């Protein structure tokens, strides 16, 4: 995530391609100019978001940190109970159903993305500017992926194995070529 924020701030900040307006119904508000949060306030706010006061409201308001914290705690406690088997089986079946639904949705995702991009391009009054913004976004995304693979993954691989990551990458070129080509 840090890589994406840095690349966005370097290359796309202020770009017409990215709208910084809050989504409709969003509770997010821009910070006043010159406002700075104290570190203690940030830690306190973060810890308040970890524990939901009402799990159903957290679900409705998409407070994912609260929901994930609750789900992890609930799952750990459920696994400790000897009578938790049917509930675990229920959630396992729900998980399998969700995975199958996601697989079906993923099939149509490229069509949806292409139609959204083509709609934005069609509504643009300056086709050259729109294509330039899309091209710039595409190049920054590819740069981010390359930095992640050859930067972050290399550091992780080298720190855990104490081996040269580029030798490992050299052996993967055929696989990457086939994956990119298909």
| pLDDT-based confidence at residue 11 (cuts at 50, 70, 90) | confident
- Calculate the average pLDDT of the chain: 81
pTM score, whole prediction: 0.47
12 within 8 A of 137, measured Cβ to Cβ: yes
69 within 8 A of 51, measured Cβ to Cβ: yes
Measured between alpha carbons, how far apart are the two ends of the chain, in Å?
27
Query: C-alpha 46: how far from its chain's center?
Result: 19
- Spatial distance between the Cα atoms of 57 and 54, rounded to a whole number of angstroms: 5
Say how many residues make up the chain. Answer: 182
Query: What is the pLDDT averaged over residues 75-93?
Result: 85
């Amino acid at each position: 995530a840090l890589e994406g924020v840095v690349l966005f701030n370097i290359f796309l900040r202020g770009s017409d391609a990215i709208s910084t307006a809050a989504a409709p119904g969003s509770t997010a508000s821009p910070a006043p100019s010159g406002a700075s949060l104290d570190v203690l306030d940030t830690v306190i706010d973060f810890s308040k978001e970890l524990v939901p006061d009402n799990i159903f409201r957290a679900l409705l308001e998409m407070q994912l940190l609260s929901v994930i914290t609750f789900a992890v705690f609930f799952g750990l406690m459920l696994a400790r109970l000897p009578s938790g088997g049917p509930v675990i089986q229920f959630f396992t079946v729900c998980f399998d159903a969700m995975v199958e639904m996601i697989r079906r949705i993923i099939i149509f995702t490229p069509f949806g993305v292409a139609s959204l991009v083509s709609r934005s391009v069609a509504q643009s009054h300056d086709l050259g500017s729109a294509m330039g913004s899309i091209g710039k976004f595409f190049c920054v995304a590819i740069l981010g992926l390359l930095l992640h693979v050859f930067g972050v993954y290399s550091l992780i691989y080298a720190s855990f194995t104490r081996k040269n990551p580029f030798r490992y990458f050299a052996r993967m070129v055929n696989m990457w070529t086939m994956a990119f080509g298909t």
